[in-house]
């Protein structure tokens, strides 16, 4: 068994996005007998507020599901923008540094950094250098590329230096993984040698997220008839999602009495979306829902909505997609042909070009009126989740790869090495 250090700004009890996958990975490894330490921050996402009961300005230790968790103080901006986001991430990089350096005395065999954020990657690399641990950088999204391409950060003359620094740091890690084939292809531009690149896709607990046998209880709670069609958006409401498209679709289809929009989640783009949809009787807003109701929540959808800005198509792979597929419901997404999302939904969803609101509206209207097509694509989505996205299969592949990297006997079961397969 191995001693594994993981650094990432998001962790349980956060139950969406990067925090969900980092937590499940750490807890799965601990359940396999590995000794796992996580260096993270207090939960704050997606509300951008530190959750009650957690310290903002001092270190805190706890144990969650067999994982030793050290939470570092950090700054959370009330109104995140380009500059304040940078300061926010830098504060975690700064306060996590002494803990990561001290962790060298804990003698980890593997030190992992989860991006976002790369602010802690220097500390992870130094910990590996001091302790002799092998190092692994896992990229959930290319945060620097997304920030620059979306205009979240105006780097100006510093852009070239920031890219060079990222390239230098990425080359220091023994393994660099990411979650889709298209994103893995991008690693070469970061200077990562092919023999260090790993495809490590996100997964889903196909036992925890199941197809519902009947109507979701959320329909009664929201006053939505069982025969009505529900178009559901669930998750973070930020700049990368292109949520203005949802408001346009809700207005364009407001006369469709049998179609309801449910928007669940939080983030800086929620209030503008609420303002756009004010007064529309078929639009419902909810906060993030408890993880124990995830099947009921995802099963509320007849159609999952996955808008995405064109300029981040291969910088991120939406982590929510795995659960959407497992729910056995069709997904309507915006993406260009050949991108990660388009490939993932080739047989189980409908994909229209981004930046074309009428295409999205037309596709949604057609799906809403065609129950047979929704059922066919939903069944394909569930099969895809069962065959390619199993939590145990993907994490078993990761365990085999880390065992090889640090020179341990192969502790993984004799299963197909899913970590290198073509999947979401």
Listed by start position, the domains of the chain span: 3-203+390-420, 217-387
Q: What is the pLDDT of residue 157?
A: 67
Domains 3-203+390-420 and 217-387 share a fold: yes
- What b/e readout covers 312-330, taking b as 16+ CB neighbours within 10 angstroms? bbbbbbbbbbbbbbbbbbb
pLDDT of residue 35: 98
State whether the Cα torsion 147-83-164-177 is positive or negative.
negative
Q: So what's the pLDDT on residue 156? A: 61
Nearest to 62 by CA among 102, 13, 101: 13
**CA 72, CA 283: separation in Å to the nearest integer?**
39
CATH of domain 3-203+390-420: 3.40.50.2000
Residue 147 confidence (pLDDT): 66
Cα(248)–Cα(364) distance, rounded to whole angstroms?
12
What is the β-pairing status of strands 67-72 and 60-64?
Answer: antiparallel
Is the full-model pTM beyond 0.85? no
Q: What is the mean pLDDT of each run of 10 residues along the chain (424 residues)?
A: 96 90 97 98 92 91 98 93 87 98 98 95 98 97 73 63 88 95 89 95 92 95 96 86 91 94 92 95 93 94 91 70 96 92 94 93 97 98 93 94 89 44 45
Indicate the length of the chain as a whole number: 424
- Say what the pLDDT of residue 421 is: 42
Tell me what pLDDT residue 315 has: 62
Which of the listed CATH numbers 3.40.50.2000, 3.40.50.1700, 3.40.50.970, 3.40.50.300 matches domain 217-387?
3.40.50.2000
Check residue 417 and give its pLDDT.
44
């Amino acid at each position: 068994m191995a001693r594994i250090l993981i650094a990432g700004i998001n962790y349980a009890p956060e139950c969406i996005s990067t925090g969900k996958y980092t937590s499940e990975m750490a807890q799965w490894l601990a359940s396999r007998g590995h000794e796992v330490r996580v260096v993270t921050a207090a939960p704050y996402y997606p509300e951008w507020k530190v959750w009650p009961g957690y310290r903002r300005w001092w270190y805190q230790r706890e144990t969650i599901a067999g994982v030793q968790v050290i939470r570092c103080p950090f700054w959370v901006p009330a109104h995140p923008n380009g500059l304040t986001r940078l300061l926010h991430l830098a504060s975690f990089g700064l306060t996590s540094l002494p803990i990561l350096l001290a962790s060298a005395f804990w003698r980890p065999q593997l030190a992992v950094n989860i991006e976002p954020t790369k602010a802690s990657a220097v500390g992870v690399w130094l910990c590996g250098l001091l302790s002799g641990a092998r190092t692994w950088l896992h990229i959930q999204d290319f945060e620097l590329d997304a920030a620059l391409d979306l205009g979240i950060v105006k780097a100006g003359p510093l852009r070239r230096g920031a890219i060079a620094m990222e390239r230098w740091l990425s080359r220091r890690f023994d393994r660099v993984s990411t979650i889709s084939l298209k994103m893995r292809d991008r690693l070469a531009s970061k200077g990562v040698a092919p023999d260090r690149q790993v495809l490590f896709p996100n997964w889903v607990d196909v036992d925890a997220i199941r197809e519902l046998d009947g109507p979701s209880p959320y329909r009664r709670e929201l006053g939505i008839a069982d025969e009505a069609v529900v178009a559901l958006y669930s998750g973070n409401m930020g700049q990368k999602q292109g949520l203005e498209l949802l408001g346009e679709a809700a207005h364009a289809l407001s006369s469709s009495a049998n179609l309801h929009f449910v928007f669940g989640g939080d983030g800086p783009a929620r209030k503008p979306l609420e303002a756009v949809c004010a007064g529309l009787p078929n639009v419902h807003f909810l906060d993030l829902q408890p993880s124990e109701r995830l099947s009921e929540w995802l099963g509320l959808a007849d159609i999952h909505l996955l808008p995405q800005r064109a300029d981040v198509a291969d910088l991120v792979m939406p982590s929510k997609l795995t659960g959407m597929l497992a729910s056995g419901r069709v997904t309507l997404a915006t993406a260009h042909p050949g991108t990660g999302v388009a490939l993932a939904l080739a047989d189980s969803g409908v994909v229209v070009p981004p930046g074309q609101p009428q295409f999205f509206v037309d596709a949604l209207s057609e799906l809403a009126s065609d129950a047979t097509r929704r059922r066919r694509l939903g069944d394909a989505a569930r099969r895809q989740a069962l065959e390619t996205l199993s939590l145990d299969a993907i994490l078993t592949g990761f365990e085999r790869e880390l065992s090889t990297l640090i020179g341990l006997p192969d502790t993984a079961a004799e299963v197909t090495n899913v970590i290198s397969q073509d999947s979401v």
